[in-house]
Structure 1
C-alpha cells in the first residue's frame, strides 16, 4: 500500500524496518494461521450449538430441571466462547474479507453433526449445498488477498480519518437511520429491514474487531499498542456494535424462523464485512481482476450453499399454546358470562369466583 508505506515512514526507522522484515519473512504463514484459527473456531461454534440443542432436547424430555443446570449445556457455552475467541484472533492474522465468509464452515459442520449425531435425515439439498459451500470456501482461500498487514494504532487512526471511510460511514449512518425509522416508527417488520440493520452494525463490528485484535497481536509480537487512545475507541465501538447487533438479531429470531434468519444474516454479514475490509483496510488494493472475480464467485457459491442447507429445515419456532381462547373449548357455550365485567363491584372478589363456578356448571 502506497499510502500506508508513506505513513509508516513517519514512525521510528527501527520499528518500520522490523515490520517490513516480518511482512517479507512470513506473510503466508500469518495468512494460513488466520485461516486455520477461523476454521477451527467455526467448527467449535457449530459443535457447541449442537451440544446446546441436544441438551435442550434432553432436558425437555426429562422435564425436571432447567437447562442451565446441565453440565452438558455449560460445556456447549464454553466451546462457543472458545470458538468466538478463535474468530476474534483470526482477524489479527488474515484479511477481514476472508475471515467473514469462512463462517459458512460453521453451517457445513452443523449440518454434518446434525446428521451424524442427532440422526437428522440427509436431504439432496444438504449434499448439493455442502458441495457448493466447500467449493466456494476453496475459492475464497485461494483467491483472497494474501497481504498480511500489521495493524498498528497509527495505521488504524490513519484509516479512520481517510475521506473514503468517512464518506462510507456517513452513508451507513443515513441508511441506518432510515431503516430504524421504518422499523420503529412505521412498523415495517420485514425480515430484510431487520437483517440490514444487523448488517450495518456488523460492518462496524468487523472493522473494530480487526483493529482491536490486530493491535493486541502487534502488542504481543512486537510493540505495545494498548497505550494509544484509538485502541479504546475501537474497543468501545466493538462492544456497542456487538450489543445492538445481538439485540436486533434476537428480535429477528422472535419474529421469523431460524431457517430464514440464518442464511440471510450470513449473506448480509459477509457482504458488509467484505465492503468494510475493502473500504477501511483497503484489502483489495493491488489485487488482480481475476482474483477479485474468483473471490466474489466463491462468495456466491457459499451463499447458495448456505441457502440450500438451511432451506426447509424443521421449524424451530412453535406456537404458544399456554393460553387457549375460551370460545375454542369444545362443549362450552355462553362463555361471555364466565368472566365478570371489570366495572362491577364483584370483580376480583369471592362472589365473582362463585359466579364463574355456577356458569361453568350450567353451560354443560
Structure 2
C-alpha cells in the first residue's frame, strides 16, 4: 500500500527536464526506477550520518577517558581509531548518496547526525536531557520528513557530457562569478581587515561547500554510471571535478578549524549546518537544475522542512553544557621569589598562587592603598 502511494507520487511529479541530453532519458523517468534509486540515496545518507554521530561520540568518550586517567594520548587508543574508521565509512556513505539522490536533499539530511549525536550523548555519555533537546529533535524529525516527501524526485544519470553542458550554462557562470567576488571580499575582510567573526568564516566555508557538493555529485554520479557499464572515467571533466572536490574540501577544513579555535562549538555547529545546507541546495538548483518543473507547493513545503530542521538543530546545539572532567593536578613546587602551595591543571595557563611571602603581601597592600588614593 505504501509503495503504491509512493509510486503514484513519483508518477505525478514532473521530473523530465528539457535541458537534459537525449542519451540519458531512457531510464530516468520510469517511476519504479526513480523510486528505487531515490530511496537508496536517502537510506545511504541517513545511515552515513548515523555512523558519523556514533563516531563523534566515540571520540568524545575517548577524550573524556584520557583526560580523567591522564594516561597515554588519545591517538594511541584503539577505540579512538574505531571512531575515525566509522567517520570514514559515514562520509563515504554520504559521498555515495549524492550519486543516487538530488544534492538538495542529501545535504539537509545532515541534521540526522545532530539528532542522533544528541540522543547518544544523553543515553551513553550521561549528558543532561533538556526540554530544548526534545523540542529541537521533534522539529528536526518533522523537517526531515517534509524534506524527503517534497524534495525534487529527479534521478539524473550523471555523465561527462551532462556535466560539461551544465558547467558552461549561463546561470552557473553567473552564480560562479558572484561566488568568486563574495569569496574575495570575505577573504579580504578576514585577512587584511582582521575581522574574525563567526559569520565571515562560515560564509567562506559555505561558498567552498557549494563547489564541493557540485564536484562530489559529479564524481559520484560518473563512478556510478561507469559501474553500470557506461564508462565515464576516461573523460577529462571527471579528473577536473576530482581536483575541485579535493581543493574545496581542504580549504573548507582549514576555515572550519579556524572557526572552531575562535568560537564555541555551540555557535559553529548550527550556523555551519544552516550555511552548508543553504549552499548545497542553491548549488543543486543552479547547477543540476533540480527544481526544474517542481510544483510551487512542493517548493514551499521543502523550504519549510529546511526551516524546521534549522530551528531544530539550533535548539539542540544552543547552550549545551560542557562535559566536566576531573583532570589530574601537578604540583608546581617552588617558584623563584614566591612560595607556591597551589596546584594547576595540565594545559592551563592560569596559575593561581597560594600564600605569598611577607614582602609580597606588603607590596600588594601598598599597591591597593595607592590605587584607592588615586
2:279 matches 1:254: no
Q: Number of residues paired by the alignment? A: 325
2:222 matches 1:207: no
Q: Which residue of 2 aligns with 1:21?
A: 27
2:19 matches 1:4: yes
1:182-228 CA deviation, whole Å, 9 max, x = no partner? Answer: 00000101111111000000000000000000000111013010000
2:101 matches 1:94: yes
Structure 1 segment 63-102 matched on structure 2, within 5 A: 63-102=70-109
Structure 1 segment 318-329 matched on structure 2, within 5 A: 322-324=348-350
Structure 1 segment 159-174 matched on structure 2, within 5 A: 159-174=166-181
Structure 1 segment 117-132 matched on structure 2, within 5 A: 117-132=124-139
C-alpha contact 1:258 1:316 (8 A) present in aligned 2: no
Structure 1 segment 208-357 matched on structure 2, within 5 A: 208-315=215-322, 322-324=348-350, 331=356
C-alpha contact 1:257 1:316 (8 A) present in aligned 2: no
- Return the offset for 1:173: 0.2
- Return the offset for 1:256: 0.1
C-alpha contact 1:207 1:277 (8 A) present in aligned 2: yes
1:37-84 CA deviation, whole Å, 9 max, x = no partner? Answer: 000000000000000110111112121111111110000000000000
SS in 1 for 2:99: coil
Per the normalisation by structure 1, the TM-score is 0.85
The CA distance in 2 between the partners of 1:67 and 1:297, in whole Å, is 42
Q: Alpha carbon RMSD of aligned pairs, Å?
A: 2.0
Q: Which residue of 2 aligns with 1:338?
A: none
Q: Which residue of 1 aligns with 2:143?
A: 136
C-alpha contact 2:105 2:151 (8 A) present in aligned 1: yes
- Return the offset for 1:21: 2.8
SS in 1 for 2:19: helix
C-alpha contact 1:179 1:197 (8 A) present in aligned 2: yes
Deviates more, 1:314-323 or 1:110-119: 314-323
